[in-house]
Amino acid sequence: MIDVGSADSRTVSEGQSYALFFALVANDRAAFDTILQWTEHNLAQGDLTAHLPAWLWGRRDDGQWTVLDANASSDADLWIAYALLEAGHAWQERSYTARGAVLAKRVLDEEAAYVPGLGLTLLPGPVGFHPAADVWRVNPSYSPPQVLRGIATRLPDDARWARLLASTGRVLTDTAPLGFAPDWALVRANQGFAPDAQTHAESAYNAIRVYLWAGLLDPRDPLAPALLARFAPFADFIAAHGAPPEKVDTTNGRAGENMGNAGFSAAAAPLLDARGQHALADAQIERAARLDRDTPAGYYSSVLSLFALGWRDGRYRFAADGTLEPHWSSPCRAASR
């Protein structure tokens, strides 16, 4: 999955993880295997069980295609592990399950930290998110509750997943006291969360996924009621202005002048549906389609729309235990041999 609008024609591990998920939802094992093989070979030094995938790959100034940043990204790693575990279950393929389990353990070992007063907490990656002895940097959108819960369901012998879920609930709710999720936040030992000055406590292109993940939750998920209530101000803004804001200052709830793009509207629709605001959700899908007709969507907007439209069309659901419920209407496209 390439970001064709970028100068270096980059791909990120996040994009590969989403592509794996969508291939599974589509029951396209051939595509799944192709994406998995490319990801493992190009981002994980040929072995996902031994190396976390590098987050950034693209074309260098000298024209060579290679890893541009070897640091990993925990959201991608979680989604890849989840897709492998769910593919192993759906397609009865033990090798997927084994690789998913090893990668999931590596996430816990290398991309989570014990934060006093919060517990075991997901960090955005293995390097660069512990700026001081008592300070950590978190990204709420990196913690889809259903993905964490699904991994915990598939790997019940590791109690750390339950502990990670407990902190995730607080990361998602406590960082958004005014009902708008931040892109990034700081957490201090035994002091709770604080705005991230580096990103001006902004809610923007990362945070839009927090609302999406909340909307995609099964209503019986233990975190669903609290998240739907916490993000009521986001839904209220859409009701008042006809679209989601592109940016919000989370310290005061003030939105910027611009509305979000097509992907923002699509991503908001499941949350609105989950809150019973179906007409408003329909209006966001219509707005997204209208904007896409006028301006072709880029990588990120397309991904947001795929998640939202696939869910609204009934192509998949997340169960209360986080496992995937794909609604396949055609036989599996077998992997090439």
The b/e string for 53-76 (b: 16+ C-beta within 10 A; e otherwise) is: bbbbbbeeeeeeeebbeebbbbbb
State the Cα–Cα distance between residues 157 and 103, nearest whole angstrom. Answer: 15
Residues in the chain: 337
Is 257 catalytic? The answer is: no
- Please identify which of the residues 28, 33, 40, 75 carries the catalytic annotation: 75
Is 75 catalytic? The answer is: yes
State the Cα–Cα distance between residues 148 and 112, nearest whole angstrom. Answer: 13
Q: What is the distance, to the nearest Å, from the Cα of residue 97 to the centroid of all Cα atoms in its chain?
A: 21
- Please identify which of the residues 14, 28, 77, 273 carries the catalytic annotation: 14
Whole-number Cα distances in Å, 103 to 60, 77, 106, 290: 28, 7, 5, 40
Task: Give the residues across from 187 on adjacent strands.
Answer: 136, 193
Whole-number Cα distances in Å, 248 to 213, 251, 290: 19, 9, 24
- Of 124, 246, 229, 230, the C-alpha closest to 186 is 124
Amino acid at 245: P
State the Cα–Cα distance between residues 94 and 89, nearest whole angstrom. Answer: 8
Query: What does DSSP assign to residue 197?
Result: G
Which sequence positions are flagged as catalytic? 14, 75
